């Protein structure tokens, strides 16, 4: 990175910009991944053909993986350094802490982020590497269904999607703020958009373990 870019990253707004851009890349992946996964409702052949197509394009697949890994690292890194900076700015704790401009979602960003990090590690071991339970690399449909027939696995996925929804809600809200969309007149729209995004992703993702648990998908 050039000196000038490094100096920008060192500012609080620079770190927030890095969080926003890396967050945008990650949400793009999450939406694309959800739409791809929802093909499970169109049958095993459809989902497996889609997985086969992705696996047959190793070059673009690894290109996308590298972009996602870089975005995850940038997102973590700037989150940690922003948190440390916020703490250092107030070395003496408040005697009485009154939150003026925060929400439950904002205060739990780091905690939710940790749950999501644990989820991603588990999820890769489960459905990409096949380290948990029976696994057939050629039959993604069977792997998903067999996985969610195990109640604690389905439960953990559902819990992680709840954490993802809170994270996305606050993330989208902050992203729009970093871009400058902070105006009393439009804040209700910003809130509605962030809630709609978080709910759409949560409902789409949770529908899959719920469909397996209820016996609709088998």
Stretch 54-83 residues interacting with ligand HEM (CB under 6 A): 54, 65
Stretch 78-117 residues interacting with ligand HEM (CB under 6 A): 116
φ, ψ of residue 115 to 5 degrees: the values are -60, -40
126 and 167 Cβ atoms separated by less than 8 Å: no
- CA neighbours closer than 13 Å in the CB half-sphere of residue 73: 5
Near ligand HEM by CB under 6 A: residue from 157, 169, 173, 175: 157
User: Does 191 engage in binding with ligand HEM (CB under 6 A)?
Assistant: no
47 alpha-carbon distance from chain centroid: 22
Q: How many residues bind ligand HEM (CB under 6 A)?
A: 19
User: Does 51 engage in binding with ligand HEM (CB under 6 A)?
Assistant: yes
CA distance 39 to 51: 10
**Which string of x and - marks every residue 121-140 that binds ligand HEM (by CB under 6 A)?**
--xx--xx-----------x
Q: Of 124 and 179, which has the nearer Cβ to ligand HEM?
A: 124
CA distance 173 to 195: 9
201 and 29 Cβ atoms separated by less than 8 Å: no
Near ligand HEM by CB under 6 A: residue from 71, 165, 166, 208: 208
State the minimum distance, in angstroms, from the CB of residue 51 to ligand HEM. Answer: 4
User: Does 153 engage in binding with ligand HEM (CB under 6 A)?
Assistant: no
Tokens at 92, concatenated: 């003496």
Q: Of 16 and 123, which has the nearer Cβ to ligand HEM?
A: 123
Find the Cα–Cα–Cα–Cα dihedral 79, 85, 86, 87, rounded to 10°.
Answer: 110
Q: Of 123 and 190, which has the nearer Cβ to ligand HEM?
A: 123
State the minimum distance, in angstroms, from the CB of residue 215 to ligand HEM. Answer: 17
* Contacting residues for 174 by C-beta, under 8 A, at least 6 apart: 16, 19, 20, 106
User: Does 27 engage in binding with ligand HEM (CB under 6 A)?
Assistant: no
30 and 163 Cβ atoms separated by less than 8 Å: no
Interface contacts to ligand HEM, rule CB under 6 A = 30, 33, 37, 51, 54, 65, 116, 120, 123-124, 127-128, 140, 144, 157, 164, 205, 208-209
């Amino acid at each position: 990175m050039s000196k000038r870019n490094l100096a920008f990253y060192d500012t609080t707004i620079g770190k927030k910009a890095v969080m926003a851009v890396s967050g945008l890349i990650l949400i793009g992946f999450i939406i694309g991944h959800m739409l791809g996964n929802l093909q499970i409702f169109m049958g095993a052949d459809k989902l497996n053909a889609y997985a086969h197509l992705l696996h047959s394009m190793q070059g673009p697949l690894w290109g996308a993986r590298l972009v996602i890994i870089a975005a995850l690292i940038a997102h973590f890194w700037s989150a940690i350094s922003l948190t440390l900076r916020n703490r250092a700015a107030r070395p003496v704790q408040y005697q009485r802490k009154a939150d003026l401009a925060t929400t439950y979602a904002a205060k739990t960003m780091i905690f939710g982020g940790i749950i999501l990090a644990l989820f991603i590690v588990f999820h890769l071991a489960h459905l990409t590497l096949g380290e948990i339970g029976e696994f057939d690399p050629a039959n993604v449909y069977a792997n998903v269904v067999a996985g969610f027939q195990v109640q604690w696995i389905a439960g953990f996925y559902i819990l992680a999607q709840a954490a993802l929804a809170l994270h996305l809600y606050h993330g989208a809200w902050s992203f729009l703020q970093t871009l400058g969309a902070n105006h009393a007149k439009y804040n209700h729209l910003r809130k509605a958009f962030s809630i709609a995004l978080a709910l759409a992703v949560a409902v789409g993702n949770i529908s899959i373990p719920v469909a397996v648990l209820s016996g609709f998908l088998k």
